[in-house]
Amino acid sequence: MTVVIWALFVAMALWVPFGRGALGFVVFILTMTCNEIPLILLVVFVASVAATLTDVPPEDGPLTAVALGLAVLVVLGLVWLQVRARSVRPAFEAALTTGLGPAWRTRIPSGSARPLRRAVLWMSGILLPFQRHRRTVERVRDVPYAAGGRAHLLDIYRRKDRRTGQQPVVIHLHSGGFVSGGKSRESVALLNQLADHGWFGVSANYTLRSAGAFPESLIDTKRVIAWVRAHSREHGTDPVRIYLVGASAGGHLAISAALTAQTPRFQPGFEDADTSVAGAVALYGYLGARSSDPASAPAQLVRPDAPPMLIVQGSTDTALPSDEARTVADSLRSVSESPVVYVELPDTQHSFDFFASVRSRLAADAIESFLDWTRSQG
């Protein structure tokens, strides 16, 4: 029975049975670990099967042979789940080339972003999928950016050696459907990588559930931007090169905030603060309307002076299928004077950056390249 259950999980990860609604969300929950840390699960599976076989009575020989055959298929499936993560890199490369131009990498100053060695990414993702911190990076926890307790706290990621010069800033906004989540859950691999390479990282909480109904969580996002800019001298950061990265619900906030700079309605009490950003990235984002207010839908906020944007979606995301993300990308392209890059990652589920997996690290490398290209444009 144990082998059968494992086989069902692996089969769902390989051949997604549902694409929408509650069942799609259940499939995402059940298959997330299979997709992102399959070789860790392989070790657990082999150990559990080996332990079970020691207690099998001789009369169960035929049934054991069937179970062993199914176990071999499970092992092969887990190995293939790991191998197919390699598709992330060419998908990003193709989308960035289409969106930024064939010579886009040559426009990034040497010594800035560079593709990390594939072997390092693969081995780190396989052997260290639970890595939360790098030795070169320090994390300053629970810094208040506004009054209001836990909902208005942020964490800072920066190099321990505090390099001189103005650091570009990345602000991360977590997922959770606007009802749950927190600042230390997703994109930790990305935040650590950027901090290690000289960025100043911020991961922020925001108001959730009914208290965070539109536009409250958007207002919080703008409070974070204003806080970063107001403390730029203290932390040695660049007040111009501020970028947003949001996951799922945070993707909605990142795109919406990037499109509503200096909009008084979304900056009550700090209307004069500069809340513009130099770029935005949405990862597996919910980009539909949050209420009957047209301004709660990013597609209704598009404007010619929007900053460069990267929208990343998993092609097999059963929690949030790609329709809305693709619609928003098309709407932005039709109006924005800045590049809009849209990429669908093959065989990729929701919350692919929950672990520091191979897929998460490959995505972090591509996102850093996009951000550094944007920085190089002036």
**Strand pairing category for 237-247 and 167-173:** parallel
The DSSP secondary structure of 92-113, one letter per residue, reads HHHHHHHHH-TTGGGGSPTTS-
Catalytic residue among 155, 317, 347, 353: 317
| Residue environment code for 44-61, b if the CB has 16+ CB neighbours within 10 A, otherwise e | ebeeebeeeeeeeeeeee
Q: Closest by alpha carbon to 193, among 251, 254, 115?
A: 115
Question: Over the Cα atoms of the chain, what is R_g?
Answer: 22
The DSSP secondary structure of 245-257, one letter per residue, reads EEETHHHHHHHHH
Distances (CA, A) of 44 to 68, 78, 272, 369: 16, 11, 56, 35
Catalytic residue among 152, 172, 197, 350: 350
Active site residue 174: no
Q: How far apart are CA 26 and CA 24, in angstroms?
A: 5
Q: Which residues pair with 203 in a beta bridge?
A: 155, 172
Which residues, at least 6 apart from 98, have a Cβ–Cβ distance to it below 8 Å? 341
Please provide the distance, in angstroms rounded to a whole number, between the alpha carbons at the two ends of the chain.
Answer: 60
Q: How far apart are CA 255 and CA 279, in angstroms?
A: 9
Q: How far apart are CA 225 and CA 275, in angstroms?
A: 6
Q: Closest by alpha carbon to 373, among 93, 143, 131, 147?
A: 93
Catalytic residue among 175, 248, 322, 331: 248
Q: How far apart are CA 240 and CA 256, in angstroms?
A: 18
Q: How far apart are CA 9 and CA 313, in angstroms?
A: 22
Residues written for the chain:
378
Phi–psi pair at 103, nearest 5 degrees: -105, 30
Only one residue has tokens 């706290």, namely 153
Phi–psi pair at 306, nearest 5 degrees: -60, 145
Active site residue 196: no
Only one residue has tokens 């906020």, namely 301
Q: Is the peptide bond before 215 cis (omega within 30 degrees of 0)?
A: yes
Active site residue 133: no
Residues annotated catalytic, as ranges: 248, 317, 350
